[in-house]
Amino acid sequence: MYKHVKVDPVLCIGCNTCMAACVVSHTGKRIFSMEPDSYDFTPRIRIVRTSDVTKPIHCMQCANPQCMAACPFNCIFFGERTIVIDEDACRGCGKCARACPFGAITMTRIVHGNTQGRSFRLVALKCDLCANTIKGTPACIDACPTEALSLFEPPPPRKKKKNT
């Protein structure tokens, strides 16, 4: 099982800073100095707000991913550090999003082709622990002002004892 982002909902204030950091990490754009309509805000996490809890939803990097089993086009696979969605191959059917028990996959409209015509296509997005960065720590963790996020490494599986 891979590492994943652990959330402390008691510390989360729902400020959306993690979402902004995610977009900046994946696009490299300085979104706070740009016109709001000049880029697509496509975070790979989302904030859930209820009357009791506010917290970001991240991919749990499951050992037996239901999203992978549900994808009819084999666009989801085990990567080096995370479960990966091949966004170029994704056909936007949404079966992976419906299969995810954590609601961690979002179907997102992204610009397809040139930006002049603004044609869009639907793509599945999920947290990839900022796999595109050299740093090794997801951008949302570093950006969180309340330290509600941390990187969790599950313990290795226990070996079964042999009956003697």
In a domain, 159, yes or no: no
Domain tally, the chain: 1
**pLDDT at residue 26, rounded to an integer:** 82
The pLDDT of residue 7 is 94
Is 164 within a domain? Answer: no
Measured in whole angstroms, how far is the alpha carbon of residue 29 from the centre of its chain?
Answer: 18
The Cα–Cα gap between 11 and 147 comes to 7
Residue numbers of the domain that contains 135: 4-152
Q: Per residue of the chain (164 residues), give pLDDT as tens.
A: 688 999 999 999 999 999 989 888 888 777 666 666 656 678 899 999 999 889 999 999 999 999 999 999 999 999 988 999 999 999 999 999 999 999 999 999 887 665 556 678 899 999 999 887 766 789 999 999 999 999 998 777 677 666 65
Q: Is position 158 within any domain?
A: no
Query: For the whole model, what pTM was predicted?
Result: 0.81
By the 8 A CB rule, do 58 and 43 touch? Answer: no
Question: Is 160 part of a structural domain of the chain?
Answer: no
